[in-house]
Chains A and B, each alone.
Chain A
């Protein structure tokens, strides 16, 4: 009976280790945003009281904001605030930052999720086939696709996409999430319009939202595809040269079964991490795309508030994206453990 106990102990210790390193990373994130907030050349008090406030008013606000306290105390206070979801009030919208983020985040999530879906559903098969037929024409295409993806500025490709598919061909909806007639017509449940319009059973709204999201999502999907197909290909090449692949061939399996049933099953585990990372980078990469497509998401929110010097909003948004990154890391870590029989 000694073995299961020690195994469980080991698992608990490993989970605790992961949790600790996540907590440290979060702490680091908050420290960095805190420091950025302090080195700002903009006086936060002036932003609140305005230029014409008296010295007494200024001092009152200065103290109310806790700026007279030592930095360590201010930092602890900052951590407390963030943990309770209090990022302060945005100067540009006049709303609490957390409210703003709740409003804009679903738009980004919807975009990044669809982008990742496109990237995975094309990138994974492309990478697998490129590796299985190494040097063949599909491999060459995959190489060019990835090379172009790594070299093209996303915002420029977005502009060109708008020009061609919206301006010239008229195949897709223009900037924004919805056409004017559907704006605000779908009852909000998740904040993701594709989902909400399905819940409401409003096909017109769904079609309209789809025609708006498909171009930016394909764009993000292309970047995720470039990365995912390269990674898939290199994982597959590694597996296909393994001995167990020869075993499968000796058994008399067809090449297709060798590739998909044996090799692919082995890469699906590291692939989970790649997909999680690529989803994270799309959350971030959507900053530029959202600007191009006037997409009312987190990226646009951060950029607009940044240009307005609205530091609470910028740092709040940064923390949220950072927390998403950390969460995705944790998620891929857990999935890895669940999926890989060797980690049990």
Chain B
């Protein structure tokens, strides 16, 4: 009997959605697939995802996609309106705006990616250690977090960049320095609920030390809520980064950073609107995509928060 049942080929979908997974791997993949099904049902989130995939593609293949070099100046062609030759027009040095936008996607992704890597990891470390250790460690760490939370973020980032000097690296550092505290709070809150769970006690009875508990048992459980938060924060990070670039405190000319490009177009706004308008639209579309993606991810990973 079992012979025939086993030999019946089951589709991959059935295998993934099985109620009785045969292995841990199957269960994990199944859970992932369920999440994907929920996410896929959210049209706006899918739209966001597609835009971001396109953005990644654009960043990777920038040299091949861009019709011209982002740096090649042609003063004869300066401030040209959008046309067949220059789809999005040219800037005050006669550079092709489309090409600069395409290359600029690399900078945007670099800034956002790095901040989104540093801030949550720092927050996770600080928050889980505070929550897990408790006592004065918790007190001190949370006091520091509160102090950073009470700061005006953008101004603090400005002051940091001013002190360290204007460059992309320092802009990333400044943004990360102001972005970690909410993650620390979140991770601490999660840790406090997990800490007293029975299975943590069980792991402890099996002889797991604090480091092992933290790395193997607590971190994995904090990750999903942190991911949601990161996805929702991405748009904010993009806007702050563009703000720093606009003020001349991020990427330095002639780098095609989107915020700096808006700043370049600022003085021409009344006569040559496209110079500032195009990079702004690019920023808007990308941060909108991140916001939509974040909403969708929250529905999948954090159904409680989705109720709003």
Chain A positions within 8 Å of B, measured between CB atoms, are 21, 24-25, 28-29, 32-33, 36-37, 39-41, 147-148, 150-157, 159-160, 162-163, 166-167, 233-234, 237, 280-281, 283-285, 287-288, 291-292, 302-303, 306-307, 309, 311, 314-315, 317-318, 321-322, 325-326, 329
Tell which of A32, A285, A288, A315 touches B247, judged by Cβ atoms closer than 8 Å: A288
B156 touches A326 (CB 8 A): no
B162 touches A311 (CB 8 A): yes
A28 touches B163 (CB 8 A): no
Q: A147-B288, A156-B280, A163-B273 are in contact. Are A25 and B266 (CB under 8 A)?
A: no
A153 touches B159 (CB 8 A): no
Does B291 reach chain A (CB closer than 8 Å)?
Answer: yes
Residue of A nearest to B241 (CB): A153
Tell which of A28, A39, A163, A302 touches B158, judged by Cβ atoms closer than 8 Å: A302
Residue of B nearest to A147 (CB): B291
A37 touches B291 (CB 8 A): no
Whole-angstrom distance between the alpha carbons of A154 and B270 in the complex? 18
B150 touches A25 (CB 8 A): yes
Given contacts A21-B146, A153-B284, 10 further A-B contacts (CB under 8 A): A28-B147, A39-B164, A153-B259, A156-B262, A156-B284, A159-B262, A237-B307, A287-B158, A291-B246, A322-B155
Please name all residues of chain B whose beta carbon is closer than 8 Å to the beta carbon of A281 when the two chains form the complex. Answer: 152
Whole-angstrom distance between the alpha carbons of A315 and B144 in the complex? 20
Among B144, B150, B155, B270, the one with the most A-chain Cβ atoms within 10 Å of its Cβ is: B155
- Total cross-chain contacts (CB, 8 A): 147
- Nearest first, the 9 closest Cβ-Cβ pairs linking A and B are A156-B280, A28-B147, A151-B288, A284-B152, A151-B287, A167-B270, A234-B308, A36-B163, A306-B162
Residue of B nearest to A285 (CB): B154
User: Looking at chain B's contact residues, is the secondary structure mostly helix, strand, loop, or mixed?
Assistant: helix
Measured CB to CB, the closest approach of chain A to B118, in angstroms, equals 18
Measured CB to CB, the closest approach of chain A to B52, in angstroms, equals 13
Does B165 reach chain A (CB closer than 8 Å)?
Answer: yes
Q: A25-B146, A37-B163 are in contact. Are A155 and B246 (CB under 8 A)?
A: yes
Tell which of B153, B158, B235, B292 touches A303, judged by Cβ atoms closer than 8 Å: B158
Measured CB to CB, the closest approach of chain B to A174, in angstroms, equals 9
Measured CB to CB, the closest approach of chain B to A32, in angstroms, equals 7
Whole-angstrom distance between the alpha carbons of A154 and B239 in the complex? 8
Whole-angstrom distance between the alpha carbons of A234 and B307 in the complex? 8
A28 touches B284 (CB 8 A): no
Please name all residues of chain B whose beta carbon is closer than 8 Å to the beta carbon of A329 when the two chains form the complex. Answer: 150
Whole-angstrom distance between the alpha carbons of A268 and B239 in the complex? 30
